[in-house]
C-alpha cells in the first residue's frame, strides 16, 4: 500500500541536519513507493530545498515567515499543521532531536494521533509498518505499530542510514503562506554553550569522562582527543555530580542516550545507569586503571591504564593516522 509521507527538514546554523536525511530514508520505507514530501520551516530556508530532494524527497513545501526564524512550538506547529492540512498525508516523520521531541507531541495532541518516538529502525512486514525503539534507555527494545490514523514517528539520529545523495534528482518546490500568530512563548536569548563542540546526539565519535578525570580541567585531554577525531565530549553521572562538567554532557539512563560509531570511555567504571546510555554504540573503547571495572564487559577494546597517560598518547597516534591518510 503506497502512502504519502511528510518529513520535516530540520535546519541548524543554516544547514540541514543529517537526521533529516535519515528521516527521509525512514519516510521512504513508510511510503512503500508513495510520495515523500519535504517541509522546510524558517525565515529564509527555501535554498535548502535541493538538499532534501537530493536525499530522496520528491518535492518540498516551504513555509517562510520572519516569526519562524527561531523555533517555537507555537510557530512551528502552526506551520506544520497548515502543511498537513494541505497535503493530508498518511505518514509523518521528524528527527528525534530537541526540536522534534518538543514539537511532535504537540502535533500528535492536536491531531489526536498516535506517535512512535525515538525509532531506531523501520520496516514493513505483513502489511504493517513496524518501528523499533529502545525502552528503558536501551536496556530493552520494543516493536511498535500505529493502529489508528496517521503513521507518525520520530527517528533517533545516527541509526537509520540516509539514502545516497543524488544531485541529479529534481522536484517541485512550492511556498505555502501561513499566518503565524499568537506566539505564547517568546525566545529572548539563545546561549551557545555547545557550539564549541559537536552535538552529542549526532556525533559519530564520543569521548566520555567519568570520575577518573578528577576535575573540570581533567576533561582537557578528552577535548583534545575529541577535536582530532571530530567528536563530542560526554560524561558519566559521576563526573556531572562531582561538578567536573555541565549536566548537559551526561550520558546514561538519566541524561542522553548516544549511539556513535566510536565511544571512548575514559575513567568510567560502567554503572548500569551509564551503560544504558551508550552500550548500543557501534564500537566501544574503555580506558580505566581498574582491570575489574564493569566498563570492560561491554567494551570491544580495552586498555588498562591511567587515562592521563593513555589519552594524550592516543591523540598523538590519531594525529599521525590523519596525516598518513
Partner 1 sequence: MNIFVLMKRTFDTEEKISISGGKINEDGAEFIINPYDEYAIEEAIQVRDANGGVVTVISVGSEEAEKQLRTALAMGADKAVLINTEDDVEGGDQFTTAKILAEYLKDKEADLILGGNVAIDGGTGQVGPRVAELLNIPYVTTITKLEIDGTNVTVTRDVEGDSEVIETSLPLLVTAQQGLNEPRYPSLPGIMKAKKKPLEELELDDLDLEEDDVEAKTKTIEIYLPPKKEAGRVLAGELNDQVKELVQLLHTEAKVV
In the region spanning residues 83 to 102, those forming contacts with partner 1, defined by CB under 8 A, are 97-98, 101-102
Beta carbon of residue 9, minimum distance to partner 1 (angstroms, whole number): 17
By DSSP bridging, strand 15-16 and strand 11-12 are antiparallel
Beta carbon of residue 261, minimum distance to partner 1 (angstroms, whole number): 5
Of the candidate residues 50, 74, 227, 289, the single one contacting partner 1 (CB under 8 A)? 74
Part in contact with partner 1 (CB under 8 A); list of ranges 38-46, 47-55, 145-153, 219-227:
145-153
Question: CB-wise, 62 or 198, nearer to partner 1?
Answer: 198
* Residue 289 in the binding site for partner 1 (CB under 8 A): no
* Residue 308 in the binding site for partner 1 (CB under 8 A): no
Beta carbon of residue 294, minimum distance to partner 1 (angstroms, whole number): 10
Q: How many CB atoms lie within 10 A of CB 140?
A: 9
Beta carbon of residue 74, minimum distance to partner 1 (angstroms, whole number): 7
Of the candidate residues 56, 134, 238, 270, the single one contacting partner 1 (CB under 8 A)? 134
By DSSP bridging, strand 301-304 and strand 283-288 are parallel
Binders of partner 1 among residues 207 to 246 (CB under 8 A) are: 229, 240, 246
What is the torsional sign of CA 135, 243, 226, 298? Answer: negative
Region class of 55: left (phi > 0), else alpha (psi between -120 and 50), else beta: alpha
* Residue 301 in the binding site for partner 1 (CB under 8 A): yes
The size of the interface with partner 1 (CB under 8 A), counted in residues, is: 97
Give the three-state DSSP class for 172: coil
Q: How many CB atoms lie within 10 A of CB 43?
A: 11
Instruction: Report d(CA 214, CA 211) in Å as an integer.
Output: 6
Of the candidate residues 20, 250, 259, 269, the single one contacting partner 1 (CB under 8 A)? 250
Length of the chain: 325
The angle formed by the CA atoms of residues 256, 261 and 264, to the nearest 5 degrees, is: 70
Amino acid at each position: 500500500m503506497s502512502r504519502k509521507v511528510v518529513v520535516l527538514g530540520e535546519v541548524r546554523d543554516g544547514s540541514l541536519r543529517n537526521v533529516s536525511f535519515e528521516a527521509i530514508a525512514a519516510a521512504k520505507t513508510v511510503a512503500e513507493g508513495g510520495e515523500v514530501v519535504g517541509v522546510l520551516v524558517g525565515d529564509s530556508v527555501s535554498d535548502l530545498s535541493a538538499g532534501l530532494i537530493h536525499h530522496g524527497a520528491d518535492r518540498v513545501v516551504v513555509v517562510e515567515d520572519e516569526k519562524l526564524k527561531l523555533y517555537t512550538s507555537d510557530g512551528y506547529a502552526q506551520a506544520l499543521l497548515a502543511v498537513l492540512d494541505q497535503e493530508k498525508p498518511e505518514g509523518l516523520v521528524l528527527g528525534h532531536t530537541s526540536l522534534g521531541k518538543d514539537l511532535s507531541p504537540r502535533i500528535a495532541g492536536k491531531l489526536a494521533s498516535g506517535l512512535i518516538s525515538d525509532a531506531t529502525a523501520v520496516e514493513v512486514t505483513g502489511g504493517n509498518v513496524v518501528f523499533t525503539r529502545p525502552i528503558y534507555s536501551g536496556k530493552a527494545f520494543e516493536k511498535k505499530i500505529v493502529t489508528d490514523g496517521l503513521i507518525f514517528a520520530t527517528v533517533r539520529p545516527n541509526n537509520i542510514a540516509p539514502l545516497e545523495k543524488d544531485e541529479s534528482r529534481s522536484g517541485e518546490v512550492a511556498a505555502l503562506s501561513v499566518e503565524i500568530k499568537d506566539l505564547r512563548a517568546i525566545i529572548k536569548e539563545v546561549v551557545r554553550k555547545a557550539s564549541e563542540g559537536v552535538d552529542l546526539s549526532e556525533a559519530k565519535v564520543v569521548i566520555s569522562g567519568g570520575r577518573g578525570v578528577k576535575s573540570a580541567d581533567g576533561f582537557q585531554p578528552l577535548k583534545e582527543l575529541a577535536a582530532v577525531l571530530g567528536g563530542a565530549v560526554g560524561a558519566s553521572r559521576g563526573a556531572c555530580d562531582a561538578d567536573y562538567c555541565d549536566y548537559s554532557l551526561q550520558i546514561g539512563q538519566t541524561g542522553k542516550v548516544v549511539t556513535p560509531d566510536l565511544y571512548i570511555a575514559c575513567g568510567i567504571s560502567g554503572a548500569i545507569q551509564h551503560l544504558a546510555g551508550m552500550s548500543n554504540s557501534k564500537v566501544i573503547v574503555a580506558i580505566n586503571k581498574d582491570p575489574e571495572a564493569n566498563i570492560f564487559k561491554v567494551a570491544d577494546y580495552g586498555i588498562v591504564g591511567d587515562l592521563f597517560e593513555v589519552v594524550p598518547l592516543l591523540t598523538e597516534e590519531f594525529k599521525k593516522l590523519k596525516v598518513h591518510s
